[in-house]
Chain A
């Protein structure tokens, strides 16, 4: 079902981690404007898919191709993928001691803008932009003054990821277990933030273990990843079915 119109088109993607095959031939297409969910039990390769797409070292592609907005994604450096519009919201956002959150965000935004041939924002322009985004996300400005993710609660870290996403305005977002470690209130806030970014020009891949996130971020399509392959695809109702029956049945079938 990979079509040339898809924003992200993955074909036969295989990858190893420490020489162990983890992805064993993934076919997946996400058109602009759609949100697709990847569900699966632990160890099925969900996070690996996110890292392979974003180009992390140690995740070695052994086969297949990924086309992103018509470009060969796998040939690009991680920062070029980011500039091309690919964003990964991390399952475990990384701490950067001593690096101010605002400074980090502005440098990232300007790096991406430079690569796109756009003018950089000065400190004032940036502050105006980031304040507006924070308001929409219901975040306190105090977060800008802190060091990136240092001493952040689980919920704050995830919200910070969504803030980065909102500021960088990527064409395509991969959310890796964004719901993990969140209580229900935090989950709602994060989901609202994600939903605010949904739009006809933007694609999303939501990686999750549980259905509960998908009650708030309703996907257009749901894919089940098992043993490194997509074993089933369907509409949002598939998530509910999995919630009821678990992955056991599918695991046996696979």
Chain B
């Protein structure tokens, strides 16, 4: 079956009711006791047999974190998190590291199959290499050999620490410093795994790279770290997907993603975020507190963030670009949906440092039920950024009369040659639009799906095809029951 049809079918299978990724896999796990102190940080580092420099780096981050306070400026509300109540490491129990997919616990493979992510290469999505992260560790990475022929490194972060320490040491924390913010510091102290990507000079990565994150264990947080380095003249498209079981308690996901693009390199980073959003009353769901940042270090480099955020109880996330290289380009395309009691405070930061840098921000926020959706974005033009350009478009769509949409743009220009445009709209799905669709035979939910997809088209259009189909269906599912 062609990959796209497979994706459609998979998604259709899971669309029949509510959140269908909410199952729990029965897998023997290695979970460390609850609580967080320096010993836990040492234990995690020890479990990963890490070099001393990395342990030191973690400890530094941990000490910084201890002195920090959780941020309160976002327009989200939740009870204080007791960081001693979670466990900071969970891994499927496996005595010997698997050398091939045949050695992986079949239950684990089945979990990913259920999610529509077949890890066996002969069944994989066409042209996509997958790194599967289960709770805290990377369990499988497909197509490694094929990628290695081109010199592309795509592996678990912990593996990169051992096999490519010089690269990790050079770039880790170079975009998001260990003490950058509360959650980034926490991640730096306790991160367990994630993905590492290195694209050598002049190489166009021959396939899409993808990481699929799955939280399974109870009372654990997930703290993964992704580092992507694109050398001069190289390019890569990276996809990220995530789901979690349905649970009554909240779980914390605090990831850090760092991107580095050198001269004329381009990185496209796409996310379909579908963490469990909690139930209609707002019980349970993932707290998604994530720091994502890309550095366009080289001239004419380009970093493009595309995100479709349908999940999580709370989303706190601002994928950003530091536009340092002359003529570098930053893009942020986002769709964020909040339904029921979901809250999202998301946006981007575009920091223009270099000459002739340009950035584009297209944000589509959709609020339904009691959802609260905030776009928060910063465009900063520094004194040396001559002829910098920014275009921002923020559109909000409201469904029902109990939800909220908020737009909080910050614009700071310290260079008179800058051109900054900001457009914002807020609209509702009108009764006449729904009736028009229904008169043509579409159900109310199909009509909402269609109108919402139309509203998001500029963002969906830039998603890789594999994700676009899934994203369109997800939008419809996320809004089920939001009208009427």
Query: Which residues of chain B from 436 to 464 have a CB within 8 Å of any chain A CB?
Result: 436-444, 446, 450-451, 453-457
A108: CB under 8 A from chain B?
A: yes
Task: Report the tally of A-B residue pairs with Cβ distances under 8 A.
Answer: 75
Segment at the interface with A among B81-89, B147-155, B427-435: B427-435
Chain B residues within 8 Å of chain A by Cβ, number: 22
Most A CB atoms within 10 A — which of B431, B433, B438, B442? Answer: B438
Query: Which residues of chain B from 35 to 92 have a CB within 8 Å of any chain A CB?
Result: none
Asked whether A79 and B441 contact (CB < 8 A) given A96-B436, A99-B451, A104-B450, the answer is yes
Flag if A78 contacts B438 (CB, 8 Å): yes
A98: CB under 8 A from chain B?
A: yes
| B446 proximity list for chain A (CB < 8 A) | 107, 111
Asked whether A115 and B441 contact (CB < 8 A) given A94-B433, A96-B451, A99-B451, the answer is yes
Asked whether A164 and B440 contact (CB < 8 A) given A57-B431, A98-B456, the answer is yes
A97: CB under 8 A from chain B?
A: yes
| A94 proximity list for chain B (CB < 8 A) | 430, 432-433, 435-436
A54: CB under 8 A from chain B?
A: yes
Flag if A108 contacts B451 (CB, 8 Å): no
| A247 proximity list for chain B (CB < 8 A) | none
A77: CB under 8 A from chain B?
A: yes
| A54 proximity list for chain B (CB < 8 A) | 439
Asked whether A98 and B454 contact (CB < 8 A) given A79-B438, A82-B441, the answer is yes
Bound-state Cα–Cα, A104 to B440, Å: 9
Instruction: Name B442's closest neighbour in chain A (CB-CB).
Output: A111
Specify the main secondary structure of chain B where it touches its partner. Answer: helix
Flag if B438 contacts A107 (CB, 8 Å): no
Most A CB atoms within 10 A — which of B431, B446, B450, B457? Answer: B450
Query: Which residues of chain A from 104 to 154 have a CB within 8 Å of any chain B CB?
Result: 104, 107-109, 111-112, 115, 147
A66 to chain B, nearest CB (A): 16
Q: Which residue of A55, A90, A107 contacts B436 across the interface (Cβ within 8 Å)?
A: A90
| B435 proximity list for chain A (CB < 8 A) | 56-57, 78, 94
A73: CB under 8 A from chain B?
A: no
Asked whether A147 and B436 contact (CB < 8 A) given A79-B442, A111-B442, A112-B441, the answer is no
Bound-state Cα–Cα, A56 to B455, Å: 24
A10: CB under 8 A from chain B?
A: no
Instruction: Name B427's closest neighbour in chain A (CB-CB).
Output: A97
A83: CB under 8 A from chain B?
A: yes
Q: Which residue of B430, B438, B444, B454 contacts A99 across the interface (Cβ within 8 Å)?
A: B454
A210 to chain B, nearest CB (A): 24
Most A CB atoms within 10 A — which of B439, B441, B443, B451? Answer: B441
| B450 proximity list for chain A (CB < 8 A) | 96, 99, 103-104, 107
Asked whether A98 and B457 contact (CB < 8 A) given A57-B435, A78-B435, the answer is yes
A205: CB under 8 A from chain B?
A: no
Bound-state Cα–Cα, A55 to B444, Å: 13
Instruction: Name B456's closest neighbour in chain A (CB-CB).
Output: A98
Bound-state Cα–Cα, A54 to B436, Å: 10
Query: Which residues of chain B from 394 to 435 have a CB within 8 Å of any chain A CB?
Result: 430-433, 435
| A93 proximity list for chain B (CB < 8 A) | 436
Flag if A82 contacts B454 (CB, 8 Å): no
Asked whether A98 and B453 contact (CB < 8 A) given A82-B441, A111-B441, the answer is yes
A168: CB under 8 A from chain B?
A: yes
A88: CB under 8 A from chain B?
A: yes
| A83 proximity list for chain B (CB < 8 A) | 441
Query: Which residues of chain A from 49 to 90 have a CB within 8 Å of any chain B CB?
Result: 54-58, 77-79, 81-83, 87-88, 90
Q: Could you give, for residues 299-342 of chain B, a 1 whenever the CB lies within 8 Å of some chain A CB and a 0 otherwise? A: 00000000000000000000000000000000000000000000
Flag if B453 contacts A82 (CB, 8 Å): no
B37 to chain A, nearest CB (A): 52
Instruction: Name B444's closest neighbour in chain A (CB-CB).
Output: A79
| A97 proximity list for chain B (CB < 8 A) | 454-455
| B437 proximity list for chain A (CB < 8 A) | 96, 104, 108
| A90 proximity list for chain B (CB < 8 A) | 436, 439
Instruction: Name A77's closest neighbour in chain B (CB-CB).
Output: B438
| A108 proximity list for chain B (CB < 8 A) | 437, 440-442
| A111 proximity list for chain B (CB < 8 A) | 440-443, 446
| A57 proximity list for chain B (CB < 8 A) | 431, 435
Asked whether A88 and B454 contact (CB < 8 A) given A57-B431, A94-B432, A94-B433, the answer is no
| B443 proximity list for chain A (CB < 8 A) | 79, 111
Interface set of B (CB-CB < 8 Å, partner A): 430-433, 435-444, 446, 450-451, 453-457
Query: Besides the contacts A88-B439, A94-B433, A112-B440, what 13 more A-B pairs have beta carbons closer than 8 Å?
Result: A79-B438, A79-B439, A79-B442, A82-B438, A82-B440, A90-B436, A95-B433, A96-B450, A104-B440, A108-B441, A108-B442, A111-B441, A112-B441
The 6 sampled A-B contact pairs (Cβ below 8 Å) are A78-B438, A90-B436, A94-B436, A96-B450, A103-B450, A108-B441
Closest 10 CB pairs of A and B: A98-B454, A99-B454, A108-B440, A112-B441, A94-B436, A82-B441, A78-B438, A98-B457, A111-B441, A79-B438
Interface set of A (CB-CB < 8 Å, partner B): 54-58, 77-79, 81-83, 87-88, 90, 93-99, 103-104, 107-109, 111-112, 115, 147, 164, 168
